[in-house]
Structure formats: structure tokens, C-alpha cells
């Protein structure tokens, strides 16, 4: 069965590339992926596969039933793009100004579509059921996973697998990890309400920029002095905005940032500490403030047994020549929500372009992937799905 799966995927590799390049040329932003969802659904309809559309929004779910009883295995791929103007030189660059597949979701979708086609062609010989979850809006919280789960995409599922094509890792690499592999990703925004005035009369003002500067420095003490050094945490300020002329003392200022954690207790501590410091700093300066802390995705926490199982499957894929335990990534992923409901694992498939020592990072306007990694991902996911059956 394994050899048939691999050979069929190899036979359809050119189609996988064609799909990826079409999607790359026609990217759509999170929550606006109407045409992409229609393309995915039409692919399944042409195969004669049962497909459900508008799952939790723009999500698409296809179910392939084998000819024999067995487990229900879910595989997930995301399909939204980013608000980035593409700067690559590829012949299939984005045709949509200011929108780009700069994270590999086009490759994820092509991988899963072709894998589904191959599984459908083998269905009479297969055991169990295979749920293909095509998720919208991974890039922008609250994401698409929660609404798709609420709409039933995991109903009856016994195990779930997912992968991310990873341009930072050489082709042939599989990075796995038991437990936390990607961080919870939260953001915060602070608005300081001071009292502006003339730059020559600072004593008559409550300078929002000075107060904000103190606040930025005070916040840097949270991770170093309030978080157990054994735990991992990041607090980064990404924006500090006050639109004034050079000789005007700011009436208000806005500070935005992100927090990344793996431990829920640490997550709670940092949120509480940020508000405490904001309140104290503004109280000392005699000004008011607004504080918002919308929580993003929780940490992606892989299940031990399923991760060990995935490694054994990956070892049987010829393309996977470097299977290594990954360090946790501080990036976020809403695959986390699936793992809160069903046992499974999420891993990285090396997709560094050939002859490149320093690839452009994900979310960069010149980002690209090694398309051969799609075949490695399809074989690894496909064999994990088939080998999960009793």
C-alpha cells in the first residue's frame, strides 16, 4: 500500500506544482478567500468526492471513505494569503497587487488536494475515513480553525496530522517535537491619554511620549523579573505612534506589541503584569490610559504518542533524509485548536529553495519554497494517515 501511495503521488507531482502556481497567482486575504474556496470545492466535485463548503466561514471539508472499516483520520491545510506586495521574479507571481502567498499556504493546499485525489483513487482498498480540512484564515486571529471546529469539521475524527512547509529548513528535513512546538501569540495595545501643549512649555503638559517611553522600558522587566527563567516568553513592542509636529508635545500616544508564551500560567502572569505596569506608570504621571489585550492562538501542543508515530512514518519516506527534533518556534498557528479537541501532531517539512544559503523568511515579499517539498509532505501525511489504520 505504501509503495502504491508513493508512486501515485509521484505520478501527480506535476499537477501538484500546477495547482500551487495557480493558487500563488490568485491569492486572497484571510476571511476573503471566496474564489480559493470555490476552486478547492470544485476540485473535489470533479473527483466525485463528498465536499462541504462554507464550513465555519470559507472553510471546505471533503471526506473520503475507504472500502473497509477503520479509524477516521483528519489532515489539514490552510489557504489564505498575506497583505504583502510580491517582489519575486518567478513566472507565476501574484496577479493581485498587495496580496501574496508569502507563507506557503498555496503549497499546503496543493499538497492536500493531490493527496486527496490519490487516496480517492485507492479508496476501495483503504480502511477508515479521511477528512480533508481546508482551512481559511490562519494568518489573522481569531482564525478559521475555531469556527470550523464549531461547525463540525472534527466530528468523528480519531487523529489529526498537519504540516507546514518550512523555508528555513533544507529540503529533506522533517522537524518534529513532542509537547509545545509553536507559541501562544497574543497582542496588546495601550493608549496613553496625556495633556499636550507647546514644545517650549513642557511644564504645562503631561507628555504622552515621555510617559510612553517610560512604559516601554518598564515593560521590559516583566520577562526578566516576573517569569520563571526556566519558562520561555517574549514581550516585544512593535509600534509606538504619536502624530505631532516637532514643536508640539504629544497629547496621546499608542503602543502596540506582542506576547509569545508556551505555558498558560505564564500567559496569565504577563497579561496581568502589563496592565499593572501600565496602570502604575500612568498613575504616577497623572494621566489616563486604555488597555486592550486580545488573546490570539494558544500554543500548539503536540501529543506524545502521535508524534512518535509520525516519526516512524516519516522515516519510511525516501525524501526525508534528515528527521530531527525541533526547537520550539515562537510563531503562532491555529492548528493549536484542533489539538485541543483531537489527539495529533503538527510538524515542519523542509522547503528551502535549492542553491540558497540564506532563504527569505516567511512573510517576506521575496519568500519562496522548494516545490519538491510538497511531494515529501504529501508522502509523509499520506503514509501517516494510512498507517494509522488498524
The catalytic residue positions are 80, 138
DSSP codes of every residue in 106-174: HHHHHHHHHHHHHHHHTGGG-EEEEEEEEE--SSSTT-SHHHHHHTTTTTT--EEEEEEEETTS-TTEE
**Residue 153 is assigned to a ligand binding site:** no
**Residue 139 is assigned to a ligand binding site:** yes
Helix/strand/coil (H/E/C) assignment for every residue in 224-243: HHHCCCCCCEEEEEEEEECC
| C-alpha cell belonging to residue 30 | 484571510
Q: Are 211 and 282 in contact (CB under 8 A)?
A: yes
SS3 for 344?
strand
Please state, in angstroms and rounded to a whole number, the distance separating the CA atoms of residues 375 and 115.
9
The CA-based diameter of the chain, rounded to the nearest angstrom, is 82
**Alpha-carbon torsion angle 48, 50, 56, 60, nearest 10:** -30
**Residue 362 is assigned to a ligand binding site:** no
Please state, in angstroms and rounded to a whole number, the distance separating the CA atoms of residues 27 and 280.
45
**Residue 164 is assigned to a ligand binding site:** yes
**Residue 26 is assigned to a ligand binding site:** no
Binding residues are 103, 105, 139, 164, 363
Binding residues for Mn(2+) are 103, 105, 139, 164, 363
Amino acid at each position: 500500500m505504501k509503495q502504491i501511495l508513493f508512486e501515485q503521488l509521484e505520478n501527480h507531482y506535476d499537477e501538484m506544482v500546477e495547482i500551487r502556481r495557480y493558487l500563488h497567482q490568485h491569492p486572497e486575504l484571510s476571511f476573503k478567500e471566496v474564489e480559493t474556496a470555490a476552486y478547492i470545492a470544485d476540485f473535489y466535485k470533479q473527483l466525485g468526492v463528498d465536499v462541504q463548503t462554507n464550513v465555519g466561514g470559507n472553510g471546505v471539508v471533503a471526506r473520503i471513505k475507504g472500502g473497509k472499516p477503520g479509524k477516521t483520520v483528519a489532515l489539514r491545510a490552510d489557504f489564505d494569503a498575506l497583505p504583502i506586495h510580491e517582489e519575486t521574479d518567478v513566472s507565476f507571481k501574484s496577479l493581485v497587487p498587495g496580496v501574496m502567498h508569502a507563507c506557503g499556504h498555496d503549497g499546503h493546499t496543493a499538497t492536500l488536494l493531490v493527496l486527496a485525489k490519490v487516496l480517492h483513487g485507492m479508496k476501495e482498498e483503504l480502511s477508515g475515513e479521511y477528512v480533508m480540512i481546508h482551512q481559511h484564515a490562519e494568518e489573522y486571529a481569531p482564525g478559521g480553525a475555531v469556527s470550523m471546529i464549531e461547525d463540525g469539521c472534527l466530528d468523528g475524527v480519531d487523529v489529526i496530522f498537519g504540516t507546514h512547509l518550512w523555508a528555513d529548513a533544507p529540503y529533506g528535513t522533517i522537524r518534529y517535537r513532542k509537547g509545545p512546538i509553536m507559541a501562544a501569540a497574543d497582542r496588546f495595545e495601550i493608549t496613553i491619554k496625556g495633556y499636550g501643549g507647546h514644545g517650549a512649555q513642557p511644564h504645562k503638559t503631561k507628555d504622552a511620549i515621555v510617559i510612553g517611553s517610560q512604559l516601554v522600558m518598564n515593560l521590559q522587566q516583566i520577562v526578566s523579573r516576573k517569569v520563571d527563567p526556566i519558562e520561555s516568553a517574549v514581550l516585544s513592542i512593535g509600534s509606538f505612534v504619536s502624530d505631532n509636529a516637532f514643536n508640539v508635545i504629544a497629547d496621546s500616544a499608542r503602543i502596540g506589541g506582542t506576547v509569545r508564551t508556551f505555558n498558560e500560567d505564564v500567559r496569565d502572569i504577563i497579561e496581568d503584569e502589563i496592565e499593572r505596569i501600565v496602570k502604575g506608570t500612568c498613575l504616577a504621571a497623572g494621566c489616563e490610559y486604555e488597555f486592550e489585550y486580545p488573546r490570539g492562538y494558544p500554543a500548539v501542543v503536540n501529543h506524545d504518542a502521535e508524534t512518535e508515530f509520525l516519526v516512524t512514518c516519516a522515516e519510511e519516506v525516501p525524501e526525508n533524509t534528515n528527521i530531527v527534533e525541533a526547537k520550539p518556534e515562537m510563531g503562532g498557528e491555529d492548528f493549536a485548536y484542533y489539538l485541543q479537541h483531537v489527539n495529533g501532531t503538527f510538524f515542519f517539512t523542509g522547503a528551502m529553495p535549492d542553491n540558497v544559503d540564506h532563504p527569505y523568511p516567511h512573510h517576506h515579499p521575496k519568500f519562496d519554497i522548494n516545490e519538491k517539498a510538497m511531494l515529501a509532505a504529501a508522502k509523509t501525511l499520506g503514509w501517516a494517515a494510512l498507517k494509522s489504520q488498524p
